[in-house]
Every structure is written in structure tokens, then in C-alpha cells.
Amino acid sequence: MTTLATDAAPSHTFAPDTPPPERTDRRVALASLAGTTIEFYDYFIYGTAAALVFNKVFFPNLSPTMGAVAALATLAVVFVFRPLGSAVFGHIGDRLGRKRTLVLTLTLMGLCTVGVGVMPGAATIGWVAPVLLVLFRAAQGFAVGGEWAGAALFASENAADGRRGRLTMYPQLGACVAFVLASLTFLVVNLSIGETSDAFVTWGWRVPFLLSAGLIAVGLYVRLHTSETPVFARARSRGETTRAPFLEVWRRQTRTMLLAIGVTTGIFGAMTVGSVYLTTYATTTLHLGMSTILLIDVLAAAAACVTTVLASVWSDRIGRRGLVLASCIGLAAWSLVLFPLMNVGTPLAVGTAVVVLLALIGLAYGPLGAYLPEMFATRCRYTGAGVSYNLGGVAGGAVILLIAAPLSATWGGVGLGLYMTAMLLVSIGCLVALPETYRRPLS
């Protein structure tokens, strides 16, 4: 009879989770990086397009303010469907394996991204356009719900002892790489045809969506040429799978689930503001040129890449929880000065505000790739990590997208900064209640 990990503190000793010699870190890293890069590339290009043109393309009959709110609300649809996708794909991943599930999520996610790039606007098909947009976003959210956990588990369950942080760096790095790619793509398009030109509104914004087809092809090729993780393969060979991973993880690890959701809530809230809303704020409220803010986004994403790598590597040496906790404390403090600094209005002030915010997010986001999977037992790890990650996305990312514009309009950016700090205080409290896991065995 097998046992399932509960909320009791683990023994801090390494277990023999070393993968077979034929498995190479390079192949695992590329397979993990590909999917999350595509996932976040879609998220960021959609967020940028929503800030720039979606109010004109899909909501032309609304006022500029309400059009922006409606466009960002369609982005929030992803967060609503992500928990459902994490439960469904988590069930598949915990029952049938990580590899099969990752191929399914990447295929569905990629088809929807290209679909958004080719669909007509409201000027052509009227009210059907925003309806189709919402349907595409719902399907994307469903697929994305299963993507991150699968990529993180694929890396962590292939990692040698003491190297889980280093290898799970790659799915986490996908978010930063995607932000760089998305910002650079829009910057090139913007410099080529101009952000206010008819060409940009008509077809220019579609280019980044269509270019994702190349990333998808690479990701599918890599994933189809990998094998199942050794940790899951051993568990399946011993009959250590469960028929209802969603029910089992909530029954046996309820406290862990709730605390993990609390941790990701504040981090997702800060990430959403930094990568999506600040683009809208800088262009509509501060009246910075789009080229300027896109260049700032590239620099901020590069800073996040550096801190994600450093924090992931350090987490194998000094632990995950302390790094995530330090980052959340820094983010809570920085959120209070974020908008006053941005309101100075100069490119240097805005750049400093955004770069520091994204760098602090990288310090927290890097170790999460190993930290969340280490909290859950193998038989329901896909479900536990995925659902807690995505419910945190709803509580943090979706809610803040819906309230950011009206909150800023009523109370100014300071009001939104205070809300960010409150969310991060929740994350800090949850981290204090959670144990360290970097020496926890995965088997």
C-alpha cells in the first residue's frame, strides 16, 4: 500500500531522484522552455495588443476608457478558464503522464494564438468579432492551465539531486524570454509602420500572433522527441497513481493548496501590473511614446531574466522559500513607490520603476518552478501544482486586470500600488506558514 504526502513537514534529506544517464539536461531544458515561452509570448502580445489596438478593432463603439477596460477584460478571461484547464489536464497528467499532456496543451494553445491573429475585426463581422475573441481566449486559458505545471514537473522530475532549482529555471525563464520577444516584435512593427497608422490597426498587430507558429512548431518537435519523466514512470510502474487526483490533493493536502494559492496571488498580481497594465498606463496616462515604453519593457524583461536565473541557481544552495519571501517583501515595499516614481513622467523614472519591479518579480518567480512541485506527492503533483498556480493567477492576475483602470482613475496610481502591497502581504503570510522544500525528495 502506498502513502500520499500530507501537510506534515518533510524530512530534509535527498532521495535518489537522479534520472537515467541517457537523459540530458539540454533536451529537458529546451522542452520545458519551449512551452512556457509560447504560453507567455501569447499572454504578452495579447496584453500589448489589448493596450494598443483591441479597443479600436473589436470594441469601436465604446469610449476609449471603456474600450480599454473591455479589451483588458478579454485578457482576464484566460485566468478564469486556467483553473479548469489545470484540473482537467492535471488529471490527464497524473493519470497518463506528463509528456502526452504537454503535447496536448501546446497544440491547443498554439492553434488559438494563430486563430486570434487571423480573425476579422468588428468592422467586418460586427458583434461576432468580440464573441470569437472571447471564445479563443477561453480555449487558450483552458490549455494554458495545464501548460505551466507540466513544464515545471517535466523539469523537476528529470532533475538530478540538488539541481531541481537549476533545471526548473527553464520553464520559469520562458516568461522572461517571451516578454523580450513580444516587446521586440511589437517594437519592430511599431518602428516599421507606426503605432497610429492604419496599417498597424488593420494588420500590423497581427504579425506577432502569426509569428508564434514558428515557436509552436519548434516546441512540438522537441516535446515529441522526449520521454516520460523517470519519477512518474517509477510511480506508474509501482501502481502509485490515483483515479481522482483533484479530489485526493484537496482532501490530503488542503492546507498546502490554500497556502500555495496565497503565495502565487501576490506574485501574479505584481507580474500582471508590470507586464501588461503599465504599458497602458504609460501610454494613456503619462503619454509616453509606444517605442519608448516597449524599449523599457525589453530592458525590464532582460533584468527579470537575470534575476530568474540567479534565484533559481541560488535556491539549490540556500533554499526556495527564503528567496521568494525576500522578493515578496521587496515587491510590497516597491509597490508603494512604483506609481509616484512613474508619475515623474520621464523615460528614466518610468524605466527605473518598471525595471526594478520586473527584477524583483524574477527573484520570486525563478524558485517557484521547483518550490510548488516539491509541495505535492507524485500521484497528484501535476494537479496540485497546476491548480494552486492557476487559482493564484485568478486571485492575483485576473482581478487586478479588471480593477486596475477604474482604481487608477478614481484614486490614481497610488491606489493600485496599495492594492498590490496588500496582495503581497497575503503572499508573505502564506510563505511564513509554509516549510522549506529544497531537500524534499520527489519520489
Calculated CA dihedral for residues 210, 215, 219, 220, nearest 10 degrees: 30
d(CA 12, CA 37) in angstroms, rounded, equals 32
The predicted structure's pLDDT at residue 21: 42
The predicted structure's pLDDT at residue 11: 40
The predicted structure's pLDDT at residue 196: 60
Given a contact cutoff of 8 angstroms between Cβ atoms, the answer to whether 198 and 71 are in contact is: no
For residue 340, what are the contacts with CB-CB under 8 A and spacing of at least 6? 413, 414, 417
The predicted structure's pLDDT at residue 13: 42
pTM for the whole structure: 0.82
For residue 339, what are the contacts with CB-CB under 8 A and spacing of at least 6? 353, 412, 413, 414, 416, 417
The predicted structure's pLDDT at residue 65: 64
d(CA 65, CA 405) in angstroms, rounded, equals 8
The predicted structure's pLDDT at residue 2: 41
* Phi/psi at 289 (5° precision): -70, 150
The predicted structure's pLDDT at residue 197: 65
**pLDDT string in tens for the chain (443-residue length):** 344 445 543 444 444 444 444 445 677 888 888 878 887 787 778 777 776 777 778 877 776 667 666 776 777 787 788 889 899 999 898 988 888 888 888 888 888 888 888 888 888 888 888 888 888 888 888 888 888 888 888 888 888 778 899 999 999 998 888 888 888 887 887 787 766 667 777 788 788 888 888 878 888 887 887 777 788 888 788 877 778 889 999 999 999 999 999 999 999 999 989 988 888 888 888 888 888 988 999 999 999 999 999 999 999 999 999 999 999 999 999 999 999 999 999 999 999 999 999 999 999 999 999 999 999 988 899 999 999 999 998 899 888 878 887 888 788 888 999 999 999 999 999 999 999 999 888 76
The predicted structure's pLDDT at residue 64: 67
Three-point CA angle 399, 403, 404, nearest 5°: 110
d(CA 335, CA 357) in angstroms, rounded, equals 8
The predicted structure's pLDDT at residue 137: 85
- Give Cα separations from 273 to 27, 205, 302, 363 (angstroms): 33, 21, 17, 16
The predicted structure's pLDDT at residue 8: 44
d(CA 76, CA 310) in angstroms, rounded, equals 30
The predicted structure's pLDDT at residue 250: 92
Which of 178, 175, 170 shows the shortest CA–CA distance to 153? 170
The predicted structure's pLDDT at residue 392: 92
The predicted structure's pLDDT at residue 68: 66
Q: 333-361: buried (b, 16+ CB within 10 Å) or exposed (e) per residue?
A: ebbeebbebbbeeebeebbbbbbbbbbbb
d(CA 90, CA 35) in angstroms, rounded, equals 16
Which amino acid, one-letter code, is at 43?
Answer: Y
